[in-house]
Copies of this chain bind each other. A is one copy, B any other.
Amino acid sequence: MKNFYSFVGSDVGLWNVTNQNTIVGSALESVQRIEVINSPLNKLTEQGVWALQGFTSNVRYANRNEIVKLQAAQEGLNRNASVCAALIPIKKNAQWWAMSQDERRSIFEEQSHHTEIGLGYLPEIARQLHHSRDLGEQFDFITWFEFAPEHTELFNQLLAQLRATKEWQFVDREIDIRLEKKA
């Protein structure tokens, strides 16, 4: 399952935790490091203090016009300069998941401009979304962001913009974990 990623919090791993902040809902136990493993959870990964998993998938909301703009502007993960990262797991409430596709799309883009906001931070802020809800995980989504140290303030602006949207009124748990790649 090449599209599965596990995020294991403990005292080992490539990424040092520089800050772990609970934005809303219950906390995750504090850890010193995080390892990202391109596989589902297994007996090895489950030995961390905590372990989250999710899968990458097809786009769920973006229309063709938005995909064209994203593909033109975005850069991938693992850029040499991207020694900063953020792991942001979120959970949305039951009201969100009871909505129809058109209702969710309307809040996501027409009212909250989720993709449009993200486009304004490309290519500096790279991101990868992982879906967790269908796996019975404690979070619905795990987003992984990568950027250069000088773009940290830019990244903070992106989060502030997203958190001020109508879409975020449906987020009932969010943890913001900042990371630096070990030299």
Q: A residues within 8 Å of B by Cβ?
A: 1-3, 55, 57-64, 66-67, 97, 99-103, 105, 131, 133-136
Contacts and interface: CB of A to CB of B under 8 A. Distances in A.
B101 A61 contact: yes
Given A55-B135, A62-B101, A131-B134, 11 more contacts: A1-B135, A3-B134, A57-B134, A58-B97, A59-B100, A60-B101, A61-B101, A62-B100, A66-B100, A101-B101, A134-B134
B67 A100 contact: yes
A118 to B, nearest CB: 15
Nearest to A96: B58
Contacts of A135: 1, 55
A102 B55 CA distance: 22
A66 to B, nearest CB: 7
A63 B134 contact: no
A87 B169 CA distance: 40
10 contacts: A57-B133, A59-B100, A59-B101, A60-B60, A62-B100, A63-B102, A64-B99, A64-B102, A64-B103, A101-B105
A67 B97 CA distance: 13
A131 to B, nearest CB: 7
A136 to B, nearest CB: 4
B2 A136 contact: yes
A100 B57 contact: no
B64 A100 contact: yes
Contacts of A67: 100
Contacts of A100: 59, 62-64, 66-67
Closest A-B pairs by Cβ, 3 of them? A63-B102, A64-B100, A1-B136
Contacts of A63: 100-103
A133 B102 CA distance: 23
